[in-house]
Structure 1
Amino acid sequence: MDGALRIVLFSVVFLVSQIHCQEAILHISGDSTDRDYCIVYNQSWTPLSETLDNATQYPLVNLTSTVLCNASGVSPDVVKGKAVVVLRGDCNFSQKALVAQSLGATTLLIASDQVMVTPSANASEYAKVKIPLALMRHRDFLEAQQVFGEEMQVKLYAPPYAKIDPSIAVILLIAMVTVVLGGLWSGACEKDRLNSGTAGRGGGESKADSGELSLYSPLKVVIFVAMMCGMLVLMYFFYNILVYVIIAIFCLASASALFSCLDAVMDKMGCGTLSFSVRNWNFSVRSIVLAAVCITIAVIWGVYRNEDRWIWILQDLLGIAFCLNFMKTISLSNFKICVILLTLLLVYDVFFVFITPFFTKNGVSIMVQVALGPDASGEKTQGNMVEIPAEPQAPTEKLPVVMRVPRFSAWAQNLCVMQFSILGYGDIIIPGLLVAYCSRFDVWVNSPKRIYFVSSCIAYYVGMILTFAVMLLSGMGQPALLYLVPFTLITSAVLAACRGEMRTFWAGTTYEVLDSSREPLLPEGRTVHAVDGERC
């Protein structure tokens, strides 16, 4: 009974969240084939059917030789009971619709060579028009003529899409898997160091044998965040130049990260390495093959990075590897550093999302402008108005700093312009560094059932759910760190306090670093092996 109630409740929420977009579908059919094209309409005119089966089919009459600002030269017998397509002209949409309606037409399509915006009119004009009206691309109509000739049957329908799109679940899954794997990887590396007796060499901000880098200095954390702010501002003002630098860096860094991840998987699987020597240089066959695969994937992404239909798969793959490698390579030495870093980045995220729109000319936040590119049209449109290019546009470069998943339910939108749900790498990496610290702390204190790691992962999951909930309710993007940072920090702190381990959790590793010698200082009278059970 309880399960049935939950299903009913979810169904009600899902149905209530069904909304209509201003993009719709023009279904054209002929003798043996059919195709779908993007159209833009306004529900204030005659609403369209929600499904193809319920839509009424009409023959299409080609009147692109006129703009139909008046009825001169058009015989009512030619258009009566049919859909007509005309060119966009100087007269307004309502005038065209009233003329088509007076001639007996059932539907009016306006072929446009200009940017297609939601067709609107004075409020008093809507009630006068009784037939559907929509804009389509002129080039789409020319293509349809080549495919179907003059004998075309058309249906217009506007499928509603769910505000709660399944792509959000995919984004959430990607984020959770990345954070969990990154934390487990970091904890496993820490356990290996302890078992090998090298923990004493990895306590400061120095690279250990595994290539990891530990941050211990609050000042350097502040400098790091300040550099991030400066880089973001530079990207805002010099986007067209720096975007190519970031793309090149991403290709190199993601290929290296993917190699590191796949190499670790091979080691876990126990795959052996076949080596050979050339002039005293040793080469591993496995490393060569992995390097070739990773470089190939990065190059393919670099070449086809603007192909929206499928390249997002490679970008997400490289992004996951990048985040995992970052979480494994950069480690925070104690909870104090975690608090400083995450708090500063929370302020950074909120400021550049919510505050900067008051200072920019177009009212778009610097964070959104940089993440989505200079023509972030999805964020610039007002209310229910949309803008769809009528002609092919040169692709605009976007920073590879987000996970992207197409919105599965927005069929009409994707037909017009590909729509994506996105999540920034920082929303995975920043809380992930805290999760990784909790995983290492579990190793240090030998905590049962990885309680710190599991608790931080649950807190991250709840924070992500709240982020998406607020985003859906508000209808605007949210700085995810605003929810993730408090949930993860507070959960970790409360757990440490309840277990009586707050002091050791705050201080982290017992090793301190002297700036002069870079040697670890051990507690008085202890050795490296003597403190093995007191790594907190």
Structure 2
Amino acid sequence: MANTVVVTIFSIIFLALEIHSQEAILHVSDGSTDKDYCLVYNSTWGNLSVELSTAMQYPLVNLTSNLLCSGSGLSPAEMKGKVLVVMRGECVFTQKALIAQDLGAAGLLIASTENMYPPSSNDSEYEKVHIPVALMRYRDFLDAHKVFGDRMQVKMYAPQAAIFDVSIIVMLAIGVFTVTMGGYWSGASERERVRRGPSLGGGDEDKTDSGDLSLYSPLKVVIFVALMCVMLVLMYYFYKWLVYLIIAIFCLASATALFSCLDAVMDKIGCGTLSFSVKGQSLSLRSLVLASVCIAVAVVWAVYRNEDRWIWILQDLLGIVFCLNFMKTITLSNFKICVILLGLLLVYDVFFVFITPFFTPNGESIMVQVALGPDAAGEKSNIVAVPADPNTSSEKLPVVMRVPRISSWAQNVCGMQFSILGYGDIIVPGLLVAYCSRFDVWTNSPKKIYFVSCCIAYLCGMVVTFTVMLTTKMGQPALLYLVPFTLASSALLAWQRGEFRHFWSGTTYEVLDSSREPLLTEGATDSSTGERKC
């Protein structure tokens, strides 16, 4: 059962790509009052001004009683030089746009009662349309009509989002901090285990003496990744049911991880436990208080998980402790297992992002569909839907770190924009960092050289990922860069130090260099270490 939960959790941590949409602002005024509304547009159909001050102002003509699938009954003299607003439906966007253009309209707004995506067409149709075409929420139009009546004057403009945003630095810091701390924690746990000496009780080879799960068999790793593929496909077909199961698992796992992290911090600072007995059972007051706090935090996240304005802080906190605990709990026994697991997950990531669109009915990747939820149907991988009703949010899988884009905080009327980093982009290379940290312990490496070099490689991989993302203006599957950087740097270091054979196969109580001594010889126990227990 525990392994099934691990597979389920591991299956959902690769579902995040950073994605962007083409959003604009409709500025409505009547000379004394003004208000802004969200637009979704396609820059191929007429570029919009980037500033309100330079945007042209036009009268708005209310044609919401007309679908504009034909121009009959409409006078070009009444439409010329004005922006028309019509209802969505019955005919394609191109047909509506060409009719509006033939009527002499300066622009076309299509009121939608459905989730909005940038209007699209084939390349040959793009060349025929020369006026701006955008979608707006029908509820927004009703609100504007209620406020301004028929005297609406409108400007359409699309503020340029900053190419570089402070949120990227914050996201980079979160990733590097989590990977570094997770690797350090794994190494510290291994150091304590080595000091106690090897377990004498036999037992399950998959478990360490601390109860952590160890992956040591290539076959088990292959089966593990295969189960992840099955889980992803199941979520693709049964998303609306499984999403709540994943949310429940995340709440349980994140509460457990938060307890584990806080308990370790309390031990580190020497906080007492204040134990007491109830009906013969020994209980720790500290554990009871920590458990209550952790459960409360997880419940608060579950209740307010769709409150974008502030819940991202709590989700990032739970995400960090989740990744830390995962990296400490799941251990890879040697570099061979690291290569197999990270290599398979890289193929997994690429296949479900870039290959599956050739097989799905709407040409969308399975991973993007699952990551974005059912409302992502029909959208492209670098486009985000704008919901028809901003007060209702579709359920999303809790698989990403989210930081609001500071540059768009004040001006964005379509909803908060986020920089996103998937848990998989932290955990997958983090497992290798954790192995390097444990190898430093096994070999008593000076200055934790394997751990430090792998962390630096992760930082370099992240920098390259964000650089490519900013250059191409498209989200990037970070494992494409992180896996080669971390694997190559670790292998080169082991080869340069003449330790590659041991690094590849893994070793715990073996002296690799006569100038270095292991922490303990095999079978020894350290009775002299009397560390204070809380």
State the TM-score bracket (shorter-chain normalisation).
0.7 to 0.9
Q: What SS does the corresponding residue of 1:49 show, helix, strand or coil?
A: coil
Alpha-carbon distance in 2 for matches of 1:365, 1:135? 25
Is 1:321 aligned to residue 325 of structure 2?
no
Q: Match for residue 352 of structure 1?
A: 352
Which whole-Å deviations, capped at 9, do the CAs of 1:486-507 have from their partners, x for residues lacking one? 2212211211121222233233
Q: Which range is displaced more, 56-65 or 284-293?
A: 56-65
Q: What SS does the corresponding residue of 2:374 show, helix, strand or coil?
A: coil
Give matches, 1:260-271, under 5 Å: 260-271=260-271
Q: Match for residue 362 of structure 1?
A: 362
In structure 2, give the amino acid aligned to 1:381.
K
Is 1:54 aligned to residue 58 of structure 2?
no
Q: Match for residue 96 of structure 2?
A: 92
Alpha-carbon distance in 1 for matches of 2:381, 2:428? 32
In structure 1, give the amino acid aligned to 2:453.
S
Tell me by how many angstroms 1:508 deviates. 2.2
Tell me by how many angstroms 1:25 deviates. 0.3
C-alpha spacing 1:363/1:274, structure 2 compared with 1 (3 Å): same
Tell me by how many angstroms 1:484 deviates. 2.0
Are the aligned partners of 1:115 and 1:388 in contact in 2 as well (CA < 8 Å)? yes
* TM-score, length-scaled by structure 2: 0.77
Are the aligned partners of 2:273 and 2:284 in contact in 1 as well (CA < 8 Å)? yes
Alpha-carbon distance in 1 for matches of 2:128, 2:358? 36
Alpha-carbon distance in 1 for matches of 2:466, 2:321? 24
Which whole-Å deviations, capped at 9, do the CAs of 1:218-267 have from their partners, x for residues lacking one? 33223322322222233233333322222211111111011111222233
Identify the match of residue 427 of structure 1 among 425, 428, 449: 425
Alpha-carbon distance in 1 for matches of 2:330, 2:385? 43
Are the aligned partners of 1:171 and 1:422 in contact in 2 as well (CA < 8 Å)? yes
Q: Match for residue 118 of structure 1?
A: 119
Alpha-carbon distance in 2 for matches of 1:389, 1:21? 12
Give matches, 1:129-144, under 5 Å: 134-144=134-144
Q: Match for residue 6 of structure 1?
A: none
Q: Match for residue 371 of structure 1?
A: 371
Tell me by how many angstroms 1:185 deviates. 0.9
Are the aligned partners of 1:439 and 1:450 in contact in 2 as well (CA < 8 Å)? yes
Q: Which range is displaced more, 45-54 or 184-193?
A: 45-54
Q: What SS does the corresponding residue of 1:170 show, helix, strand or coil?
A: helix
Tell me by how many angstroms 1:425 deviates. 1.8
Alpha-carbon distance in 1 for matches of 2:501, 2:104? 78
Q: Which ranges of structure 1 fall in alignment gaps of 5 or more residues?
A: 1-19, 513-524, 531-536
Q: Match for residue 182 of structure 1?
A: 182
Q: What SS does the corresponding residue of 1:161 show, helix, strand or coil?
A: coil
Give matches, 1:392-471, under 5 Å: 395-409=393-407, 415-416=413-414, 419-471=417-469
Are the aligned partners of 2:375 and 2:385 in contact in 1 as well (CA < 8 Å)? no
In structure 2, give the amino acid aligned to 1:39.
L
C-alpha spacing 1:246/1:73, structure 2 compared with 1 (3 Å): same
Q: What SS does the corresponding residue of 2:53 show, helix, strand or coil?
A: coil
Tell me by how many angstroms 1:283 deviates. 3.2
Alpha-carbon distance in 1 for matches of 2:232, 2:59? 54
C-alpha spacing 1:293/1:82, structure 2 compared with 1 (3 Å): same
C-alpha spacing 1:479/1:190, structure 2 compared with 1 (3 Å): same
In structure 2, give the amino acid aligned to 1:321.
V
Q: Which range is displaced more, 404-413 or 257-266?
A: 404-413
Identify the match of residue 523 of structure 2 among 507, 517, 527: 527
Alpha-carbon distance in 1 for matches of 2:75, 2:65? 10
Tell me by how many angstroms 1:299 deviates. 1.6
Tell me by how many angstroms 1:436 deviates. 0.7
Alpha-carbon distance in 2 for matches of 1:488, 1:184? 16
Which whole-Å deviations, capped at 9, do the CAs of 1:75-112 have from their partners, x for residues lacking one? 96xx99876656568772343355465xxxx7665544
Are the aligned partners of 1:202 and 1:214 in contact in 2 as well (CA < 8 Å)? no
Alpha-carbon distance in 2 for matches of 1:257, 1:476? 33
Are the aligned partners of 1:215 and 1:331 in contact in 2 as well (CA < 8 Å)? yes
Alpha-carbon distance in 1 for matches of 2:182, 2:458? 13
Q: What SS does the corresponding residue of 1:486 show, helix, strand or coil?
A: helix
Tell me by how many angstroms 1:298 deviates. 1.5
Alpha-carbon distance in 2 for matches of 1:506, 1:232? 31
Q: What SS does the corresponding residue of 1:283 show, helix, strand or coil?
A: strand
Alpha-carbon distance in 2 for matches of 1:202, 1:28? 75
Q: Match for residue 256 of structure 1?
A: 256
Alpha-carbon distance in 2 for matches of 1:321, 1:92? 51
C-alpha spacing 1:322/1:390, structure 2 compared with 1 (3 Å): closer
Alpha-carbon distance in 1 for matches of 2:85, 2:453? 61
- Alignment identity in percent? 67
Are the aligned partners of 1:119 and 1:135 in contact in 2 as well (CA < 8 Å)? no
Alpha-carbon distance in 2 for matches of 1:508, 1:404? 36
Give matches, 1:322-341, under 5 Å: 322-341=322-341
In structure 2, give the amino acid aligned to 1:527.
G
Q: Match for residue 492 of structure 1?
A: 490
Alpha-carbon distance in 2 for matches of 1:433, 1:386? 31
C-alpha spacing 1:291/1:169, structure 2 compared with 1 (3 Å): same
Q: What SS does the corresponding residue of 2:277 show, helix, strand or coil?
A: strand
Q: Aligned-residue CA RMSD in angstroms?
A: 4.0
Alpha-carbon distance in 2 for matches of 1:479, 1:406? 20
C-alpha spacing 1:201/1:301, structure 2 compared with 1 (3 Å): farther
